[in-house]
Every structure is written in structure tokens, then in C-alpha cells.
Amino acid sequence: MEYVVNEEELPWQDHPRMKRGQYKGLYSKEKHGSLATIQLIKVQKGGGNELHVHEESDDILYILSGRAKMEIEGAGTVQMKKGSCVRIPKNTKHRIYDVLEELIVFDVFAPPTR
């Protein structure tokens, strides 16, 4: 079992659903037996994604750096900036858009997505 993951040793991978986005998979159920999926997400200026839902998991995002907006069903538009923490309940439509400065996000899905 892997107890420590050093993110600096992990490569950035293209995010399959994020325009101008990449991710690093820190922990997952399939690889680590984790009870949450944990990723670093990087979205370049001008990037973002389409409205979508996570049917089985809450999505909890802590913004490490950058600025963008997030549309959340039932809450409207929220500002994403350093120090912000956003929780998206499962089955709630949301999207990231209007990325003004490269966004770095610590992203947790609980229970795990994979």
C-alpha cells in the first residue's frame, strides 16, 4: 500500500473533459484503495468545461491559485480564487468557465469515482 505520493514526481496528463486542462491523479480507489479520489487540476487561462454532474460523488474543490468562475445549479455563479473551498453535491450540474488566471485546484471526489 502506498502511503505517500509526491505530486512533483507525477506527470501532468490531459484532462479528458476540460478544455485547456490537465490533472495529476494523487489517490484513487483502484490504485490505492482510497475512500476518495484526489487530484490536482490545472486549467489554463481561457479554459473550462461544459455543464456536467457526478452521479455518485460529491466534488470538493480547494483553490490553490488562479481565478475563474463556476456555475452551480441552484447557487448561480461563484468566484473561484485562492483560498476558496467549493462543495458540489452529487447530481448537481456545474462547470468552470471564465478562467482569468491559470487555475490550480486540489479536487476531492467522495466516495471515489474510480
Which CATH fold topology does 12-110 show?
Jelly Rolls (2.60.120)
At 10 the pLDDT is 96
- Which pLDDT tens digit goes with each residue over 73-103? 999 999 999 999 999 999 999 999 999 999 9
DSSP labels for the chain?
------GGGSPPEE-TTSEEEEEEEEE-HHHH--SSEEEEEEEEEEEE---B--SS-EEEEEEEEEEEEEEETTTEEEEEETT-EEEE-TT--EEEEEEEEEEEEEEEEES---
For the chain, what are the domain ranges? 12-110
- Which pLDDT tens digit goes with each residue over 33-43? 889 999 999 99
At 93 the pLDDT is 98
More confident of the two residues 3 and 8 = 8
Which one, of 110, 106, 88, 111, lies nearest residue 25 by Cα?
Answer: 106
At 2 the pLDDT is 79
pTM score of the predicted model: 0.93
